[in-house]
């Protein structure tokens, strides 16, 4: 992998940087006479390295000038052109505002300018950050570093001034040695697994030493006396058994059984009461429907008139009419009470004459 070109979408503010084959030197030189007494440091050499690291998918650092002055650089998009081992080129697109969305474009010719390239023309457009790192790792194909990713090596390739204080331990590795020594052993040709196991055993040893210190504090003295340790363990064991018995004593099965039976009995009783109520209501409904049927009036004036005629008994038409009015009155009261009229008063007289109870309201007729 070789750097080929670094540029941005704002060429008037950030000029393109072309890298040549071989050694590239960034040199600060003062050419203006009135500025010759000024220091040649702080001209942007380290900043250029940080921008290259940004293009190689470094994580977001709030102290990095792009994010520290986000309001000034939010609209910037940087493009890093890289020459791969197969002589093809890879351009990485990464913006400051959407720093976790990375785009890739492979091409054959170098010194390209893809700052105006449409979104659809990119081979992989706005990949998530972790997926983009995996993609770049596969494109670099640094098999000698496996199982370590390519970012592990870039720390030694892109160094700041502070990183040169120690040849092997970088500023970013000021923490535990287990973070960088196994990798360093790997690139130097040693067995990195042995180094990792060494630090794992060392961590276990520190954990056991902490346990020993805790026991010593509980014993208020030395742990060399085995009988004291055994006595302490016995006391702890008895205390644990006592607490276990206390937990076992909390048995709510009998109460649950009683509550369940009470609930079931209550539901059965309510079901029986509802069934009895339903039966009673059903029977009453049948009686009401039977009483409302039109065929309940079995007396027919025509048949009675024919019977009296055959028997030789005179059955005047007025009496037949009175029976018909009485039947009509009986039917009318089934549909609800009505205001009294002359016909109803006449029907009341008929009811009194023949002593037939038709359940007429008393307020409608007077004897």
Q: SS in 3 state form for the chain?
A: CEEEEEEECCCCCCCCEECCCCCCCCCCCCCCHHHCCCCCCCCCHHHHHHHHHHHCCCCCCCCCHHHHCHHHHCCCEEEEEEECCCCCEEEEEEECCCCCCEEEEEECCCCCCCCCCCHHHCCEEEECHHHHHHHHHHHHCCHHHCCCCHHHHHHHHCCCCHHHCCCCCCHHHCCCHHHCHHHHHHHCCCCHHHHHHHHHHHHHHHHHHHHHHHHHHHHCCCCCCHHHHHHHHHHHHHHHHHHHHHHHHCCCHHHHHHHHHHHHHHHHHHHHHHHHHHHHHHHHHHHHHHHCCHHHCCCCHHHHHHHHHHCCCCCCHHHHHHHHHHHHHHHHHHCCCCCCCHHHHHHHHHHHHHCCCCCCCHHHCCC
Task: Report the pLDDT value the prediction gives residue 366, as an integer from 0 to 100.
Answer: 40
User: What is the band of 335 on the pLDDT scale with cuts at 50, 70, 90?
Assistant: low
Of the ranges 38-42, 144-148, 273-277, the best mean pLDDT one: 273-277
Inform me whether the pLDDT recorded for 355 exceeds 50: no
What was the pLDDT predicted at 249?
75
Query: Is the pLDDT assigned to residue 351 strictly greater than 50?
Result: no
The residue among 346 and 219 whose pLDDT is bigger is: 219
State the average pLDDT over residues 128-150.
Answer: 89
Render pLDDT for 288-319 as a digit per residue (tens, 0 to 9).
887 766 555 566 767 777 777 776 666 555 55
Return the pLDDT at 348. Answer: 47
- CATH architecture for residues 2-141: 3-Layer(aba) Sandwich (3.40)
pLDDT at 352: 44
* pLDDT tops 60 at residue 358: no
pLDDT tens digits, one per residue of 13-66: 998 999 998 888 887 777 777 777 776 677 778 888 889 999 999 999 888 889
Q: What is the pLDDT of residue 109?
A: 92
pLDDT, tens digit, 9 for 90 and up, residues 55-111: 999 999 888 889 999 999 999 999 999 999 899 999 999 999 999 999 999 999 999
Question: Quick one: pLDDT at residue 233?
Answer: 81
CB-based contact 179:173 (threshold 8 Å) = yes
**Percent of residues, the chain, with pLDDT higher than 90:** 30
Q: What are phi and psi of 5, to 5 degrees?
A: -160, 145
Query: What average pLDDT does the chain have?
Result: 79
Q: What is the pLDDT of residues 203-254, one digit of tens each?
A: 889 888 888 788 777 666 555 566 677 777 888 888 898 888 877 777 677 7
Q: What percent of the chain has pLDDT over 70?
A: 74
């Amino acid at each position: 992998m070789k750097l080929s070109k670094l540029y941005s979408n704002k060429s008037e503010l950030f000029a393109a940087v072309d890298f040549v084959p071989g050694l590239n030197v960034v040199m600060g030189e003062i050419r203006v006479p009135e500025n010759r007494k000024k220091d040649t440091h702080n001209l942007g050499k380290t900043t250029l390295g940080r921008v290259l690291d940004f293009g190689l998918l470094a994580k977001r650092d709030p102290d990095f000038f792009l994010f520290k002055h986000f309001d000034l650089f939010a609209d910037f998009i940087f493009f890093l052109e890289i020459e791969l081992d197969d002589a093809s080129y890879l351009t990485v697109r990464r913006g400051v505002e959407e720093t976790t969305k990375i785009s890739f474009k492979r091409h054959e010719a170098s010194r390209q300018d893809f700052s105006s390239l449409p979104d659809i023309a990119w081979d992989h457009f706005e990949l998530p950050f972790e997926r983009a790192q995996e993609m770049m790792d596969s494109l670099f194909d640094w098999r000698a570093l496996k199982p370590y990713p390519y970012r592990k090596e870039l720390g030694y390739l892109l160094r700041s001034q502070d990183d040169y204080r120690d040849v092997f331990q970088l500023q970013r590795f000021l923490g535990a040695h287990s973070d960088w020594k196994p990798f360093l052993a790997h690139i130097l040709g040693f067995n990195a697994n042995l180094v990792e196991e060494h630090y794992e055993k060392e961590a276990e040893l520190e954990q056991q030493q902490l346990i020993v210190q805790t026991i010593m504090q509980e014993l208020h003295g030395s742990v060399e006396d085995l009988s004291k340790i055994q006595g302490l363990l016995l006391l702890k064991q008895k205390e644990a058994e006592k607490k276990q018995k206390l937990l076992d004593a909390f048995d709510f099965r009998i109460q649950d059984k009683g509550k369940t039976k009470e609930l079931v009995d209550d539901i059965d009783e309510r079901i029986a009461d509802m069934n009895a109520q339903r039966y009673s209501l059903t029977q009453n409904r049948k009686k009401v429907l039977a009483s409302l049927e039109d065929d309940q009036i079995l007396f027919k004036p025509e048949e009675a008139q024919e019977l009296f005629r055959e028997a030789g008994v005179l059955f005047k038409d007025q009496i037949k009419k009175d029976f018909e009015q009485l039947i009509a009155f009986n039917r009318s009261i089934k549909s609800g009470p009505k205001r009294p009229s002359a016909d109803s008063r006449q029907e009341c007289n008929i009811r009194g004459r023949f002593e037939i109870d038709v359940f007429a309201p008393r307020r409608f007729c007077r004897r």
